[in-house]
Structure formats: structure tokens, C-alpha cells
A and B are shown apart, each in its own frame.
Chain A
Amino acid sequence: MQTPLDNDLTKRYREKFGGAILDAVEDRKQAYLVIDSAQLAEIASYSRDIEKFDLLEDYTAVDWPRREKRFDLVAILYSFSNNTRLRLKIPLSADQSAASLVEIWPTVNWLEREIFDMFGITFSGHPDLKRILLPEEWQGHPLRKDYDILQQDTAWVRENLGIESGQ
């Protein structure tokens, strides 16, 4: 289902950023570029200003624990003028921190907080990086693959809810 991609858009990105574009793939008619996290801010800026991807539709992460670079940050961009979408995938290792895109797309404020909450990925330059869906004192990052489906922060539950967690 995955085929290598080499359309005009990819050529422009490769021309501008060279080796930072690690891969370009088309899967089920949707294009995505795998990029180097070191150049994330520049590529994001270029995508918004030159390629006209003015809407960051979604920003999330996927955990591949057996890979060397464990996380895949996934940004889904949409351009109103061209009516096209582009996915950017940024591999990150467990202790690496990514540049915050909040200056480029302000919508990313809560989206990055959710990624931090669920995966533990930190974003440098984020104005207020704290948990958003889980309580602030919760330990653990649930969407990681080593966090079991039945696991809970039993200490937090005992302290704050006054019950013994059933898990």
C-alpha cells in the first residue's frame, strides 16, 4: 500500500531542505513526508508561509517501542487555497524534545499539551506545558505501549479519591 512519492511538492521540499526530508511516501492516496526533528521549526514555517498550509488540522504521536526512535510525531496540515492535506512525520527518541510550533500555528498549544500528557514528549518553547486531560499530579503516560490498559496511578486514586483502585 505504501509507494514512494516524488511529486512536485516533494521535489520542492527536497530542494529546500535536502537531507532533512528523510522519506516521502504515499499510502492509500495520502501523502506524508518523514522529516528530521532538528529542522522541524524551519520546515513548519516553510509549510505555512510558502506552501500555504495555513491550518494545522491535527497533531498527535504514535509509539513504536521497538524502534530506535520510539515516537512518531504526526502533524496533519491542510491548505485552504489548494484544498490539499499533507502529513508530516517526525521520528523522536524517548529522551528527545521537539520544538514547539506554537508561534507558527497557535492551535498547537493544547494539542502539544495533550501529546505531553499522553506520551511524555516535551516541547521546548511551549508557554505552559502541563497535563491537560489527566490530573496534574498523575504519574505515567497512558498512550505509551508499555502502559497497560488496566493500569492506573493507584497512589493518586488512593490519595485523591479515597478509594482503593480496582486495578
Chain B
Amino acid sequence: MQDDAAQKQTLLGADELVLNMGPQHPSTHGVLRVKLKLDGERVRGTECVIGYLHRGVEKIAENRSYQQFAPYVDRMDYVAAVSNGLGYCEAVEKLLNVEAPPRAKVIRTIMTELQRIASHLVWLGTHALDIGALTPLFYCMREREEILKIFEKYCGARLTTHAFRIGGLQYEAYDTFEKDVERFCKDFERRIQEYVDLLTGNSIWIGRTRNVGVLSAADCIALGASGPVLRGSGVKWDLRKAQPYAAYDQYKFEIPVGTNGDTYDRYMVRMEEMRQSRLICLQAIENIPAGPILGKVGKVLKPPAGEIYHAIEAPKGILGYYIVSDGTTQPYRVRIRPPSFVNLQALDKMARGHLVADVVAIIGTLDIVLGEVDR
């Protein structure tokens, strides 16, 4: 009798189960390994193992000239290559003490905002797909096609664009650039409405995202989370408004904020950000100043010794470049502050107490790109 009771105890006893969400997984958005410590289906803790996509980009930077390194930055956050390029070119321009001409700044702003819309579309499609909504993915990819067509007509590439140069732009805006952007933006309003109709009031969507992955504002700041994660938790802060770069100080746009800091709020923040990006593009194309597109920058770049830190509001968060120059043609040290890397640290805090299916929703809402996490 005693033995039976003891045996029943061990059979029904709850031990911690470690479940591996392996590097190869459809919902981890890349090669991310998450070790889930579970109690039944409740998550007690997570541990992320990253580095599967580490390519040593910072070491490569020390062995290339400034212009040669520019295509490498596109490949970090490969979903939003134009933003990476903007951050890097502006950082080197600050190091050299040159400024891009006004025409270049406005075209850069338009391209970056289009890229923000494209990045959020990828996020929306894949996030909805992970949670189980199959339709938004196809709709989002359809819109993104239009943006990628504009990029291809502009610089020849859809994804890893290398669109900007140090000092400005290399390519003039092609003849129908303003018309194409205007046509896309005018059409985009009703497309966003389609996504809203599919998801925003949908009881299944609300059930899967409300109160999932709550992160308070204080936790966000302590953990360094930035971008829509920070704004979803109620902090009304955007680097485009706080420390404007490119041509952002010329345009009127709102900063959406959430209230609860849950997955639903971050979804609403990103949807509204897409609307605001569209408004910025419409304002910008009305008045693109005439003039040169490349500033006075020599062929051989040798910034005077020193260092610079420049950060921009990438679609994923604060993307920072810390560049140290020793006076030669190759940078001495390039450090890239990756928003996805820092945001991913918050996964542990957000996932505790939730179910395994919620972990998938939380990874999706953080909007990580492993290229940027690992560099």
C-alpha cells in the first residue's frame, strides 16, 4: 500500500520540463533557439540561445573602407535594409562633418518611411500567421510588392538595397518616383482598413493577444526595449521627434502609444505607425526640393581621428552606430547597437506564466530579425 502511494506520487508529481524550441522552427522568425522551462504547459522560464547567424560584421568593418562596408549593414536587418543604410551613412557623415543636401534628405526620408511600412507589413503577416490567421500574410505581401517595385526601380534591388551613399544619394529619383509613391500611398489607406477588418475586432485575435506578454513601461526602460515595444507600454517617445535626423523635422506626424503594454497594444501601435508613415510620405512628395543629391565628399574617405554615436528610429527600435576612426581609410571600430538583440532580452520577462502558444505570439510581437540579433 505504502509503495503504491509513493509510486502514484512520483507519477503525478510535477517536475520541470525543458522543451527545446529549436533553431529550425517556423515561428521563431529565423534561427533562434529558445529553451523553455515548462510546468505542464505554463512557462516558468526561457533561455534564448542565439548566434546561429553570427557573421562577424563588426570585425569585417575593421578591414573594409567606409564605402565598402555600406552594403554589409543592409544584411543585418534584412527586412528593413534602407533604415540600416540611413543610420550608417548619417553616422559616417557626422564623423566627416558633412551634411547631405536637402534634396537627398527628403528622398531618404521617403525611402525610409516606405521601408518602415514594408517592414511592418512583413511583421503583420508573419505575426498573424504564427497565431493562426492565414489571410493577412497574403494581403501584406501584396502591398509590400508595390513598395519593393519602387525600390527596384530606384536602385535596382528589392531587399538589400544599398540605397544611400555617404554624403547623399547616388541615384536621382527616377521620373515617375513621386507618382508611384503617391499611387501607393493613396491606395494603402483602404488596404490598412482591410487588415483592421480582418484582425482588430476579431474575437479570436483579441483572445490570443490581449494581456499576453505584458511589459510595464519601467521594465521596458530597464531592459532597454525600444521602438513599438516601448511605445506599446505607454512611453510616448520616438527618436524621429526627440532628436530629428534626415528631414523628419519638416513633417507633421503622430506618435501612437498603447496603454497596457500587451501584444494587442503593440499591434495597434504598429498599425498606426504604418498610417503615420503613409502621411509622412504624402507630405514629403508634395515638395521635394531641387538641387544636388550628393554632398562634397571626396573619393577617398579619411575622417579625422575621433568617434561618433548616431542612432535612428529603425522599424524595430533604436538602431545605433558607434564608429571610432583612427584617421585612416578603414574604421577602427564599428559597433552596431541592434534593437532586436536588446528587445529579445525582454522575452524571458514577458513569457513567464504564459502558455507555450503565447511564447510564439510574444516572439512575434517583439518583431525580431535574427540577422540583426546575431550580426
A residues sitting closer than 8 Å to B (CB atoms) are: 1-2, 27-28, 30, 54-58, 60, 62-63, 74, 76, 80, 83, 85, 87, 105-107, 109-111, 118, 131-135, 142-143, 147, 149
Contacts and interface: CB of A to CB of B under 8 A. Distances in A.
B307 to A, nearest CB: 6
A106 B224 CA distance: 8
Contacts of B308: 27-28, 30
Contacts of B58: 118, 143
A58 to B, nearest CB: 4
29 contacts: A1-B304, A27-B306, A27-B308, A28-B94, A28-B308, A54-B221, A55-B221, A55-B224, A57-B224, A57-B318, A58-B322, A58-B337, A60-B322, A60-B337, A62-B332, A74-B322, A80-B221, A80-B235, A83-B243, A85-B309, A105-B222, A107-B345, A118-B58, A133-B50, A133-B375, A142-B59, A143-B58, A149-B60, A149-B63
A62 B60 contact: no
B326 to A, nearest CB: 9
A76 B51 contact: no
B207 to A, nearest CB: 31
Contacts of A28: 94-95, 97, 306, 308
B1 interface: no
Question: Lowest 5 CB-CB distances: which A-B pairs, in order?
Answer: A107-B224, A133-B51, A58-B337, A133-B54, A60-B335
B306 A80 contact: no
- Measured as residues with beta carbon below 8 angstroms from the partner, the interface class of chain B is 35 or more
B374 interface: yes
B322 A106 contact: no
B59 A149 contact: yes
Interface string B28-59: 00000000000000000000001100101011
Secondary structure call for the B interface = mixed
B320 A58 contact: yes
B240 interface: no
Contacts of B59: 142-143, 147, 149
Interface of B: 50-51, 54, 56, 58-60, 62-63, 94-95, 97, 221-224, 235, 237, 242-243, 304-309, 311, 318, 320, 322, 324, 332-333, 335, 337, 341-342, 344-345, 374-375
Given A30-B309, A62-B324, A107 B222 contact: yes
Nearest to B375: A133
Contacts of A27: 306-308
B264 to A, nearest CB: 25
Given A1-B306, A28-B95, A28-B97, A107 B223 contact: yes
Given A76-B309, A106-B223, 12 more contacts: A2-B306, A56-B224, A57-B318, A58-B320, A58-B337, A60-B322, A62-B332, A76-B320, A80-B235, A107-B345, A110-B341, A142-B59
Contacts of A143: 58-59
Nearest to B60: A149
A85 B318 CA distance: 13
Nearest to B344: A110
Contacts of A142: 56, 59
Contacts of B94: 28
A55 to B, nearest CB: 6
A110 B345 CA distance: 7
